[in-house]
Amino acid sequence: MAPESLTNTIEFYYHFFTGMYHFRTRDLVIALTYYREAEKYLDLLDKNANTDKAEFYFKMSEVYYYMKETHFSMNYAQRAYSIFKEQKDAQGNLTYGKEMVQCQFVIFGNWLDKMCYEDALETAVKALNDAIKIGEQHLIGSAHFNVGLCYNNLEELDNAEKHFQIAYEIHKDRKHIYESKAIFNLAYVKAKKNDLKAALELYQEGQKVAARHNNQEVTEKLKLVKGLYLSFDLQTLREVFKFFEEKNLYGDMEEYAVAVADFLTNKEDRHDAVDFYQMAIEARKQIQRGKHLNEKM
């Protein structure tokens, strides 16, 4: 390798790995600064470094996703996906199937953020089918979870329940932390379907699961099920939204504030509904100002 080529390679990896470090510590703006420096050397890498380029594109798609820069995130994820898709072994089998699914997860997340639920569902189903082909249980569980999110947003609650149930069972078997996320969403959908007996059982089990994983976020979210459907306690609900605000979970704050406000509107409790609509508006403002950047990753 020529000295100049070696220098370019070192510069690329220095900035790339430093950016990855700051991404893990949730310093997203600093991470992006280093990634952009690394990108200057991307075209100077060895012609055989396609997978390194794909990995870089994927990392760029991640940081832009968390910064809610949807178009940039999707563009980089699609570029990474295209490269990974071309990588095959001597028998013609895909060698980066897992990475392809992860790219689809990012694309799915961006469609969801844009509230393009049909496009999100199409991407999530494709990712699920690809995950099944790979046989990676964690990816299969996560893909079912994503499909469930789509159906929940489309108010196709039976389909949402089915996929959340599968996701829960897979993550439960593996004792993975996503088990707690799955059981909350399953309890939430059951409650929305007015299957309150099942929702109560899942709520109680969910508390144990969240405690086992030390997942305070899910512990608080389960209070939404209790406060909205099981006991109807506005004070409990307000405590949940106070937690969202303290933890800068403005995406959750916006989504669930609208859900609570709609629920109250249907009960003709318009006075309290206004408060929660106002919370949703404030959360949207904070997201637009970049205040969500400290969200848990």
Measure the CA–CA gap between 98 and 133, rounded to whole angstroms: 10
Residue 48 has pLDDT above 90, yes or no: no
Q: Is 45 helix (H, G, I), strand (E, B) or coil?
A: coil
Whole-number pLDDT of residue 196: 96
Express each pLDDT in 84-94 by its tens digit: 999 888 887 88
**pLDDT, mean of residues 197-212:** 96
pLDDT band for position 211 (50/70/90)? very high
Whole-number pLDDT of residue 26: 77
Measure the CA–CA gap between 25 and 3, rounded to whole angstroms: 33
Q: What share of the chain is helix, strand, coil (3-state, %, to 5)?
A: 80, 0, 20
**pLDDT, mean of residues 175-179:** 91
Of 15-19, 93-97, 118-122, minimum mean pLDDT range: 93-97
Whole-number pLDDT of residue 215: 94
Express each pLDDT in 19-46 by its tens digit: 999 999 878 889 999 999 999 999 888 7
Measure the CA–CA gap between 136 and 96, rounded to whole angstroms: 12
**pTM of the predicted model as reported, rounded to 2 decimal places:** 0.88
Express each pLDDT in 256-273 by its tens digit: 999 999 999 998 999 999
Residue 282 has pLDDT above 70, yes or no: yes
Measure the CA–CA gap between 230 and 252, rounded to whole angstroms: 20
Measure the CA–CA gap between 65 and 72, rounded to whole angstroms: 8
Express each pLDDT in 59-116 by its tens digit: 999 999 988 889 999 999 999 999 999 988 888 788 899 999 999 999 999 999 899 9
Selected residue with higher pLDDT from 175 and 241:
241
Measure the CA–CA gap between 261 and 256, rounded to whole angstroms: 8
Residue 294 has pLDDT above 50, yes or no: no
Measure the CA–CA gap between 183 and 219, rounded to whole angstroms: 11
pLDDT band for position 297 (50/70/90)? very low
Assigned token pair, 207: 């508390």
Whole-number pLDDT of residue 296: 41
Number of helices and strands in the chain (H, E): 14, 0
Write down the mean pLDDT value for the chain.
92
Whole-number pLDDT of residue 295: 45
Selected residue with higher pLDDT from 289 and 214:
214
